[in-house]
Amino acid sequence: MSESNKDNTTHFGFSEVPVDEKVKRVADVFHSVAGKYDLMNDLMSGGVHRLWKRITIERSGARPGHTILDIAGGTGDLTKKFSRIVGRDGKVILADINDSMLKVGRDKLIDSGTAGNVEYIQANAECLPFADNTFDIITIAFGLRNVTDKDAALKSMHRVLKPGGKLMVLEFSKTNNPVLSKLYDVYSFNILPQMGKLIANDAESYRYLAESIRMHPDQETLKDMMKTAGLVNCHYENMTGGVVALHTGIKP
């Protein structure tokens, strides 16, 4: 289920844009919000994003000596925790397609005293610049919905996982609770852009982020996409009533 179609267009939020234009437009969004990204995450989620990420770490099975890839790692929340777990014999690569986000993440981790077992690489999830069978664990948190060709990205992640390695996709998803869904819509399309304008002086970027969540595949669809990419034992865990879901798959 790639977002692109035979007319060579794809979704940018609720709009249709040429495929080769989406990467630049998504990049512009994250160049704009990078400096306020952590603050906006806390405000947007009431701090709950920290719980979602902690659950992801707990479910990862990361151990000392592991090699881990944190795709769309942004400001490094997962990388920081993984760095402590894998220790000096392990390695964590913080990868992001956006150099502004990568710089913010690198500066934040260096300032926090994160160990020297972290590398920073600008990379496109659709064509990861790593050898086959490299990583024990790959995470992508709140990044897959911004990828133009999700099928290509999932196949690329599968390729660079070691046999037995685990892919974890943490992403906003679909809630089946009608009350929660109504509140979520009001929040996303009315309050969120105003928060973006007030805090980051950028309402449009946060309007796009809200729209991109609605265009992302639902839980079952994403699970099937992971299976199609070659992963097995694929399953998902809903959090906060399905507002967020953690998908997991294993490379056989």
Binding-site residue numbers are 75, 96, 124-125
Scanning the structure block, which residue is given the tokens 């035979």? 6
Sign of CA dihedral 43, 235, 147, 133: positive
* Rounded CA separation 171/222 (Å): 10
Annotated binding residues for S-adenosyl-L-methionine, written as ranges, equal: 75, 96, 124-125
End-to-end CA distance of the chain: 22
Name all contacts of 209-212 with Cβ < 8 Å and 24+ positions apart: 209/29, 210/13, 211/13, 211/14, 212/11, 212/12, 212/13, 212/145, 212/146
Q: Which amino acid is at 199?
A: I
